[in-house]
Amino acid sequence: MYYEDNKHTDQIDEFLAQIDEAKDDPSIFVNAGADKIGDNQKVIEIIVSDLLMTVQGKQSLKTLYHFVKHNSEWVFWKLGISEKTELTPGNKVLNPPDPLVHKMFHIGYRPFDQVIK
């Protein structure tokens, strides 16, 4: 098992502190663009689809998935759902090895054809 060192722990703590501050100020969540969209599910699906079709969107979703997968108890504890009292900080990150086919056709997370152009 590979565990990432605590190089992002300060950033995560700062992010959680910002969330705690923001939830007390409802004016932060007022967004004129969101008011225009309203509850139109089709528009929301199109926007999310466009975001997730980019390389950055796919990588962000994959990163979020791995974090939640390996730190689900910590996430539940932060949400007040878990009954456990002793938990380690939510910084367990296991990097699964890339499949051989991915290594053959990619440099990092970029396909060869994007790097060559």
Q: Residue 96: which residues within 8 A CB-CB, separation 6 or more? A: 66
Would you state the pLDDT for residue 107? Answer: 80
- CA dihedral sign of residues 24, 76, 47, 36: negative
**pLDDT in tens for each of the 117 residues of the chain?**
445 566 667 778 888 888 887 777 666 656 556 666 666 778 778 888 888 888 888 888 888 888 888 888 888 888 888 777 666 676 676 667 778 888 888 887 778 777 776
Would you state the pLDDT for residue 1? Answer: 42
CA distance 22 to 30: 12
Is residue 107 a contact partner of residue 115, using CB atoms and an 8 Å limit?
yes
CA distance 108 to 90: 25
Is residue 43 a contact partner of residue 37, using CB atoms and an 8 Å limit?
yes
Would you state the pLDDT for residue 76? Answer: 83
Would you state the pLDDT for residue 67? Answer: 84
Would you state the pLDDT for residue 26? Answer: 62
Would you state the pLDDT for residue 30? Answer: 61
Would you state the pLDDT for residue 59? Answer: 85
